[in-house]
Structure 1
Amino acid sequence: MKQPTFFLSHGGGPWPWMDGDFRQAHAQLEASLQAVPASLPALPKAILMISAHWEAPAFTVMTSARPGMLYDYGGFPPHTYEVVYPAPGDPALAERVVGLIEAAGLPAARDATRGFDHGAFCTLAPMYPEAQVPVVQLSLRSGLDPAEHLALGRALAPLRDQGVLILGSGFSFHNLALMFNGRGQAPSVAFDAWLQTALPAAEGRAERLMAWERAPAARLAHAREEHLLPLMVAAGAAEGDAASCNYHQADYLGGLTASSFRFG
């Protein structure tokens, strides 16, 4: 059955393996991720994960049958550098992804050694804690061109009819300089309000996303847009479908507004 696509705000560091206030700050996000599987038409045959934490000169596909782990964060407790998300890879799906990218005239590459980064495993662990669904990770392309990432999504769209769940993992607000000092509250509210109006209707959405830098507080919300580009892929893969907000929080980490969206 045809799967929807998602743009997911993935939270901070290894939060699913934390306790106390930091874990509690992610309670709403965790509940929204836990709710995703029941909202799908069927158990995905595989997941294609586009994470904000992987950029490469070409769109690069993880090809390992048994991906490892990449602990791409710092300053967290020692046990968070030992967590494992043991989902299998899917080399056959990886080859289909490479073929679709190349057929669209976009550059593609393979990586047999890359492990899951926290943009991937911190969203997947609440969704599928048993890690039973195969996962293939796909990079962003250096240069972070919105048009290229929308085109990537369009190229990947046929996978939805093959039971593949396409997940873009980033964050609706990502400016570390403003995140923890209260200065991010107003720009996160302003940019989130734009997302809430720009995304639901399919008509004209690609054009609105192409012009995202003209949105209110755009460059304050995303000083660098790597955490927004997974949204372009999810939207491109569901270009004709309406979108809805499946997670919205106005007090993330003490005052930031954050959201996730489902397409289709």
Structure 2
Amino acid sequence: MTLPTLFVPHGGGPCFFMDAGGGPPDSVWRPMQAYLAGLVASLPERPRAILMVSGHWETPAVTVHVGERPALLYDYYGFPEHTYHLRWDAAGSPEVARRTAAALRAAGHEVVVEAARGWDHGVFVPMMVAVPGADIPLVQMSLRADLDPAAHIAIGRALAPLREEGVLIVGSGMSFHSLRARGPQVTAVATEWDDALTAAVTEADPARRRERVASWDSLPHARFAHPEAEHLLPLMVALGAGGDDAAVRDYRDVVMGWVVSGYRFG
């Protein structure tokens, strides 16, 4: 069974866990929470491991975490004290991590491995929702700091064989990420951006899809939606790993005036 690949929104900080008593999040985040909560059940089979690339880890060369029990990195600021004690105690998978590094090296990519960094909130916050039992091992991989779109699509393509080995490849970011632009006055422009991005991502011809998405900054309002590209680049990895499979938008909502989408390949 070949698993699909995913690009998912991870929300803002610990947005799904702001209630110290464990109650539901603010209503604006509930549709995103419901989408994340249904991800594993929507797959053709339960993954044996997850390989995740987050918009919150950039390194000069692609870096793969090979640790057995990564800690959590609370890399957000100004949130309630209890959110710095959240737990998601899944295991790492050194075997999948080393398989990932080997696949990348075989394709000519420079790769570094490390075992010290904790999982950032682009990993553990959505995974607390998607895999609340923390019972699927996870490996985190960094973005390359140059944020080259075509290079990240190529990185994803090198990882595609892992899909046939029970590994779910997930890009975690946000399809719109402009922290200074919020509110209903942003929605019309965000909609135009989202429509253009979705048209590129779901292009039926795989080669043309890769070309259009690699040229994302030529789309309408691209640099308004992403003044910096790090939250969009996980999409490139997921798209590349999706190969020639069909692409669909399987989530769309308006959050803080932003139009936010999630995508599935295969």
Same-fold status (TM-score > 0.5): yes
Identity %: 48
Q: Which amino acid aligns with 1:155?
A: A
Q: For 1:173-188, what aligned pairs fall within 5 Å after superposition?
A: 173-179=176-182, 181-188=183-190
Q: Shift of residue 239 of structure 1?
A: 2.0
Mapped partners of 2:242, 2:155: distance in 1: 11
Picking from 56, 72, 75, the partner of 1:72 is: 75
Q: Shift of residue 38 of structure 1?
A: 1.3
Q: Shift of residue 243 of structure 1?
A: 1.1
Aligned to 1:208: 212
Picking from 125, 129, 144, the partner of 2:128 is: 125
Aligned to 1:238: 242
Aligned to 1:10: 10
Aligned to 2:45: 42
Aligned to 1:112: 115
Q: Tell me if structure 1 keeps the 8 A contact 2:197–2:216.
A: no
Aligned to 2:149: 146
Q: Tell me if structure 2 keeps the 8 A contact 1:147–1:210.
A: yes
> Structure 2: any 5+ residue segments left out of the alignment?
none
Are positions 1:90 and 2:93 aligned together?
yes
Aligned to 2:197: 195
Please identify runs of 4+ aligned residues in structure 1 that moved more than 4 A: none
Count of aligned pairs: 261
Q: Shift of residue 21 of structure 1?
A: 9.2
Q: Tell me if structure 1 keeps the 8 A contact 2:16–2:25.
A: no
Q: Shift of residue 182 of structure 1?
A: 4.6
Q: 1:33 to 1:4 in 2, by over 3 A?
A: same
Mapped partners of 2:159, 2:26: distance in 1: 34
Q: 1:21 to 1:220 in 2, by over 3 A?
A: farther
Mapped partners of 1:94, 1:35: distance in 2: 25
Mapped partners of 1:247, 1:209: distance in 2: 18
Q: Tell me if structure 1 keeps the 8 A contact 2:9–2:260.
A: yes
Aligned to 2:62: 59
Mapped partners of 1:38, 1:21: distance in 2: 21
Q: TM-score, normalised by structure 2?
A: 0.95
Aligned to 1:249: 253
Mapped partners of 2:120, 2:204: distance in 1: 31
Q: Which amino acid aligns with 1:118?
A: H
Mapped partners of 2:186, 2:144: distance in 1: 27
Mapped partners of 1:23, 1:51: distance in 2: 23
Q: Deviations over 1:198-239 (max 9, x none)?
A: 112341100001111110100000000000000000000012
SS in 2 for 1:152: helix
Mapped partners of 1:11, 1:187: distance in 2: 20
Mapped partners of 2:147, 2:185: distance in 1: 25
Mapped partners of 1:21, 1:47: distance in 2: 26
Q: Which amino acid aligns with 2:55?
A: A
Q: Which amino acid aligns with 1:31?
A: A
Q: Tell me if structure 1 keeps the 8 A contact 2:187–2:259.
A: yes
> Structure 1: any 5+ residue segments left out of the alignment?
none
Q: Shift of residue 125 of structure 1?
A: 1.1
Aligned to 2:227: 223
Mapped partners of 2:2, 2:66: distance in 1: 24
Are positions 1:172 and 2:175 aligned together?
yes
RMSD: 1.4
